[in-house]
Structures are given as structure tokens and as C-alpha cells.
Amino acid sequence: MALLDGVGSPADIRRMSPGQLRELAGEIRELIVKTTARNGGHTAPSLGVVELTLALHYVYDTPNDQIIWDVGHQCYAHKIITGRAGRFDTLRRQGGISGFPKKTESEYDTLDTGHSGDSISVALGAAVGDRLRGSSRRSVAVIGDGSIVAGMAFEALNNAGCLKQDVVVVLNDNEMSIARSTGAMAGYLNRMITGKMYNRLRGDAWNLLGLLPQDLSGKSRAAARKLQEGLKNLVVPSILFEELGFRYVGPVDGHDLTLLIDTFQRVRELRGPVLVHVVTRKGKGYGPAMRHPEVFHGTGPFDVGTGQPPSSPGPSFTATFGAKMVELAGKDERVVAITAGMCLGTGLLPFREKFPNRLFDVGICEQHAVAFGAGLAMAGARPVVAVYSTFLARGLDQVIQDVSLQKLPVILAVDRGGLVGEDGPTHHGVFDLSYLGMVPGLVVMAPMDEVELGAMLEFAVRYREGPIAIRYPRGGSGVQPGPNPAPIELGKAEVLREGDQGCVLAVGYMSGVAARAADILRSRGLNLTLVNSRFVKPLDAGLIMSLAERFPTLVTIEENVLAGGFGAAVNGLVERSGGVARVVSLGLEDRFYEQGPRSWLLDQAGLSPEKLAARLQECFGRK
């Protein structure tokens, strides 16, 4: 019988021998690869932390002790050994287990997380809270070398060193965040690894001095501290973590189970903040993921034998964006691209290959990415910040203060706008039209199809009056563009078809869906005027008010929360202008949407062509 069959909780692995644990690690890797090959998922990150996961659960008394996973895409082994191996085949599927920690699934999942940089803050807060109520529970934050560069992580490290609480930070260093880690911190961690001789010598010397008689031991250790300050500056290029107040342990081989267990058993007895530097290999145990860790960070289904996807994906907004960026950069040397650790995911890999000196990967630091873009724009460049919608929210303050307030021509390419599918609620980009639409001076556009995205990007590069955000969804539009799409003009919508029995104003991807719904309704004898609004801000006020005079009801459609979104903006315009038309807004409800195929999620939200057709019939009084 496979060892995994006998694992229902971490208590079961604590009874295993080191040899059995190593065998179990192999079984876990096999299950992860088999499942993600069928369902897609974050293959490489989870393969890299199998031994680390086993060691943490072996030593710490989970779920009483808390393990808080930063980002959470490395939690597959954690899920498998905490009672979910039998359901692991449902990973990321509709109604199945999440690809990220989820409190409603298990008491072992302490925090729903899908973004980076928050684990140390939460672990520290939990440690302080436990101290206040007299609990001896331990809190462990597991954070990657890509995530630890986030500003929030540094803020937490600084505070933890000051509070001196019993908190353990496990730095999972695989030289990768999503792509290969960049920046000074990546170089620093590499030097820490090469300085491991210093750490070994320090520990041995400290233990040796402790064997001396008590009166000599104290004096010797005091002298050793002074010597240590000089020694570590010679041997280790930086002493960042220790100067922040952490006891630094490592580097530790993240695939040596015996060493990991021994290290954590010692660390568990220490008091105060401790940082354990663990070195792992992303994709460990699966050849294609080890050779191409960036590709296998997050992937769709693939062939286990070759690592290749079953078929080539069709046209997509992301691929169109990447190709257009290369074209525009070839014509205008001022065009530069910025990504926050998502070069492949945002379609900028061709740009990086063609213009390596004009692609800036700042790591998982969206706030810095936006403000960095502001500085580039001040110097005359045309910066394009490519970022997923769900992650851009972390840089909103910079969008307001450093970009829009300064009227700087920074272009925000907002990928994954709307419902993204299997990654679930932490990754759905359903708030951006609301939080971007409220910012003064920020132009907000949303293309109906890939051709329109290219045209909007061209327009944005030419526009000099201030910042522009272009918001587009995951995947492709499925729309066949007309032969002569209308040119992009600031604040001008496009009338796709004329009808006299109702009026629909849609924006972005929903314009294509609304067109298919209008085709269904036309076959039923209901002819609608359909507008591809293109702009969320500024609105085409002239067109909207003329339609408000012609039609008693205007229906708006958006793939965004209704609060503060496109429909709210249209309704506000009509009210302020003294219009009497009723505005009915269709969009996403005030709730978090779960995981599932994008098409299914849209149908559940009433935004599939068939569901939309039925809702429009209701809106215009037709049975």
C-alpha cells in the first residue's frame, strides 16, 4: 500500500521514519504532477517545497501551531497531507478544492491568501495576539525570495525585530519568484548562501564557548560578539536580517529532510524572531518543470511525458498586447515596459527578448512598479506598466498620488480584468473599473476584441495629456472584428448596430457578449441599439444623452462589480444631465466569486450570451 494512503493528517507523518518520509515525498510529487497535468495549476512552486512542508508539519503542532503560506501557490503538498489527498483530483475545479489556502476547506489553512508579502505581518499579529491571551502557540510564515522584496514584507520584518515576539519566518529561496528573481535582494541571498561557512563557524564557536566555566563563558561570549561584528562583515556581504533583530539560521538544504527536521526542532525552542533561510529547487522532481520553472509556475493542462500543452492556445488579449508592444517599441524608442515579476504572464517575453534594455522587471512590487513608471515618464519615456488587475490594487495609492495627480503619461496595461477562472476569488479582477474610474484625470478604456486592444495601445502611446489604463480579460474575445473598425478617439464610443426597441451600452469583453445576445434577441423579433462604449472614463456624454432622449430605458453591461462601476457612471451622467431615462445596470454582484471555468462563472453571473438575452428581454418588457 502506498504510504500516502495512510496519511489523513500531519499526526500520521510524525510516526514515520526519515526513509518513509522521503518515500512519501516522492508519492506527493507524483500526485501533484498527475493532477496539475490534468487540471492545470502551480506545478513548479509546490514541487519545490515538498520536503519543507513535511518537515514543518513534522516538527510543529499543527493545526494548533499556525503555518501561514505567503502567496499560497506553494500549498499543494500541505493540502495533500492535511486530509485532502482523496479530493486532490478536484484541484481548481468547479466545486473542488482551491489552488490556494482556504479556511473553509480545512482548519490547517489559517489564511485565505493569493497575493504576496502579507504572511510575516499576519504571523506577527497572531504571535502578539497569542501572547496577550497567554497562549504558547507558535506562528510560522513561509515566504519566497520573490515575495520578501515586497514593501509590506520589509515593514513586517522591521516591526517584528522591534517587538521581539516569538515568530519564525521561513525564507524559501529558490532564486525564483514567478520568473527568475531580480534585484539587489536576489544577489544578497546568493551571497548569503556562499557565506554559509561563516554561519557554521559562528554556531560551532558559540557552542564551544558555552562549555567553558560560567565566569569565563560570559566574558568570552561578550568578546566573541565584538569579534563577530567584524568577522561577518568580512565573510558575509550584508547582515540585513540580524540588524533587523532576527536570529538568522541557514542556509539550509531545503530537500534534506533529516537536516530540515533537525533545524526546525532547534528553532522551535528559540525565543524571539528567527529567520530560517531554506534553499530549494523550483520544480524539484519533474524534469520539464526544473528546466522551465517560469513556464511551470502556473500552467494549464499538459502532457506528463513531455510537459507540453495538448494544443496551441488561440488568439488572446495577452498575446496581442505582447506583440503590439514589440511593434510600438520598434517604432518609438521611448516605449519601455515594466512588469512586477510577471514577464511571461503579461505577454512581455517577446519584448524582453527583442528589447532587453527597455524591459524592467521590478519583482513582486506593484507599488514600486507604478511609481517607477512615474519617474520614467518624468524623464520623457513612454512607460507601460503591465500588471494583473487583482495585483494592481496594491499600487492604487501610486496611481493616484504619483501618476494621476502629476498628470504623467503612464500607461497601465491591466490584464486579467474580470473573472479569471480556476484561480478563484483572490485572482478575479472584478474591482478595477470601480477603483480606476474614481481617479481624477485617469483615462480608462476597455477593448471589445484583440484588434481594438492594439488600436487602444497605439492611442495611449500617442496620448500626452495624462495617464491611461487599458483593461482587458484573460483569454481571447472570440469576436471576429469588422473590416474597418472605427478609430479610437478620446471618450468616443462606437455604435455597433441600430435598433428601435431598446438600447444597450456594453464595455470591454461584454460588448462582444452583448452582440451575441442581441443576435439571439433579433431572431426573436427584438431589435436593439448596441453600443461598444470603449471608454469608462471619460464617457461619451453626447452619445449617451442622445440615447437617453430616444429610449426610456438604457441597459449597461460590464464584467465588474456594480458598485462604482461603468453602469454607476452612466447613471450618474444621466441624472446630472437632467435625463429621465431609466438606467438598468447588469454586472457582478456584491460578493466574492469562487473558482471554476471562466465560461461557467460568466453564466452563473448572468453574463453569458443566453443568460444575457433573457435578462435583456426582461429589461425591455418582453416575455
Active-site amino acid positions: 282, 366, 394
C-alpha cell at 234: 568580512
Q: Is residue 50 within 8 Å of residue 93, measured between CB atoms?
A: no
User: Residue written as cell 511525458?
Assistant: 305
User: Residue written as cell 561557512?
Assistant: 197
What pairing do the DSSP bridges indicate for beta strands 494-497 and 443-445?
A: unpaired
CA distances from 318 to 393, 413, 474, 535, 608 (A): 19, 10, 7, 20, 22
Q: What is the DSSP letter of 463?
A: -
* Residue in 585, 593, 591 with CA at minimum distance from that of residue 565: 585
* Distance in angstroms (rounded) separating the CA atoms of residues 260 and 21: 12
* Residue in 32, 72, 74 with CA at minimum distance from that of residue 281: 74
CA distances from 413 to 346, 464, 472, 492 (A): 9, 16, 8, 20
First-to-final CA distance of the chain: 61
Backbone angles phi, psi at 501, to 5 degrees: -115, 10
Q: Residues 364, 366, 368, 372: is their CA dihedral positive or negative?
A: positive
Q: Is residue 62 within 8 Å of residue 9, measured between CB atoms?
A: no
3-state secondary structure 177-188: CCCECCCHHHHH
Q: At what angle do helices 196-209 and 184-194 cross, to 10 degrees?
A: 50
Other beta carbons within 10 angstroms of residue 590's beta carbon come to 7
Q: What is the DSSP letter of 580?
A: -
Other beta carbons within 10 angstroms of residue 586's beta carbon come to 23
The radius of gyration of the chain's CA atoms, rounded to the nearest angstrom, is 27
Q: Is residue 100 within 8 Å of residue 113, measured between CB atoms?
A: yes
Omega before 487 cis (within 30°)?
no
- Residues with Cβ within 8 Å of residue 137, at least 6 apart in sequence: 64, 65, 66, 126, 130
- Tell me whether residue 473 is exposed, middle or buried, using C-beta atoms within 10 angstroms of its C-beta: 0 to 12, 13 to 18, 19 or more: buried
C-alpha cell at 552: 426610456
Q: Is residue 517 within 8 Å of residue 612, measured between CB atoms?
A: yes
Counting every residue written for the chain, the total comes to 623
CA distances from 328 to 337, 355, 451 (A): 11, 11, 14
**H helix intervals, 270-365:** 287-291, 317-331, 349-354
* Residue in 530, 543, 535 with CA at minimum distance from that of residue 577: 543
**H helix intervals, 463-597:** 509-523, 541-550, 566-576
* Distance in angstroms (rounded) separating the CA atoms of residues 246 and 35: 38
